[in-house]
Amino acid sequence: MTYKKIIITYFLSLFHILVFAQQRPYYSQYNLNDFIINPAIAGIENYWDLKISHRHQWAGLDGAPVTTYLTIQGPLTKSTGERETTASVRAPGENPRGKSFLQNYQAADPHQGLGLTILNDRAGPLNRFAAFATYAYHLPLGPRTSIGGGISLGIQNLRLDANALYFGEAYPVDPAVSGSGYINTIKPDISAGLYLYSARYFIGLAAQQIIPQRVGFNDGKIGGDSISIINGRLIPHLFFQAGYKFLLSEDISMMSSFMVKYVNPVPISLDLNIKFQYRDIIWTGASFRPKDGFSALLGVNINSSINIGYSYDYNTSKLNTVSSGTHEILVGFLLGNRYGDWCPRNIW
């Protein structure tokens, strides 16, 4: 397949996405910010967590997806219980997330959480800007297990840059579309989720874009050697996640997890993840997507206020002939961190 054909096929697939495929952006570091997937995470820790992320997918390919987001979430009321144990105090020579933490871990007190997401996702001539407000509630199911449920409400603006729709004389675009400038469509959006968690494991279920909605920029069809914009649908995205933490030594832990994603009628996709963490300071990991590619991840908790993560994705499809891979960086700020935690108690 020539370079030109790859580019044309890629842009055609952007319009195909409106009807048949994945409509939400990919993330490699969702394990560092599960809130971007599951609204039930809001308020899970005893501080406000601000995350800023930038992802450049398929670097080197003109018009490739670029996703930037800001999220902030935290508890509406902080825990009034006594939490200053080995779970939060950095005792000399002792891992704050080691054996003592696992033994003394307590379920969350009943509390509410709030969150906000601002996201911009651009792919070729298509751009999606979204803003969501989130509410969640957490309660204990036992002395060491808690459950959270959350819902997000917001709007998304889908914008098409019709001026960018030029693929050469061999692939003409409907003139009624190509000269229309920017075409905007605004739609409401609802997401919901559940999250079961303890010191050792988590299980999450989330649904994004719950209400299917029609979306289109112009009547028409894709066919033959001409391109026109079709009417499509925003369809639900379902996510199921689970993970378990193993303590390999007093200082090193391993988290194995997976995520199953379903978007009808696309085949189910699977992420297999593994993460190794030294104390509560530094971590590294990898993620594998069968028939798609793999990611290498690295992160550091600089102190009790700032953490940074980076990932590099290598695609195993034909896109790797015109792309140098995918880069994603995430910077986190822990606001009002009362007990000085360097890493989360309840998510990994």
**Cis omega (within 30 of 0) for bond into 188:** no
The burial of 203, by beta-carbon neighbours within 10 Å (0-12 exposed, 13-18 middle, 19 or more buried), is given as: middle
Q: Which residues, 6+ apart, have CB-to-CB distance to 82 below 8 Å?
A: none
Stretch 39-61: mean pLDDT = 91
- Give the span between the Cα atoms of 273 and 97, in whole angstroms: 20
Mean pLDDT score of the chain: 82
Mind listing the pLDDT tens digit for each residue in 251-291? 999 999 999 999 988 889 999 999 999 999 999 999 999 98
How confident is the model at residue 94, as a pLDDT?
79
Mind listing the pLDDT tens digit for each residue in 154-183? 999 988 877 766 655 655 555 555 555 667
Q: Classify 273 in phi/psi space as left (phi over 0), alpha (psi -120 to 50) or beta.
A: beta
How confident is the model at residue 14, as a pLDDT?
45
Mind listing the pLDDT tens digit for each residue in 178-211? 555 667 788 899 999 999 999 999 999 999 999 8
How confident is the model at residue 95, as a pLDDT?
86
Nearest by Cα to 273 from 292, 254, 291: 254
Question: What CATH number has the domain spanning 3-335?
Answer: 2.40.160.40
How confident is the model at residue 172, as a pLDDT?
58
Domain boundaries, given as residue ranges, for the chain: 3-335
How confident is the model at residue 217, as a pLDDT?
60
Mind listing the pLDDT tens digit for each residue in 21-43? 556 788 999 989 999 999 999 99
Between 27-41, 58-72, 178-192, 321-335, the lowest mean confidence (pLDDT) is in 178-192
Residue pointed to by tokens 């009034």? 80
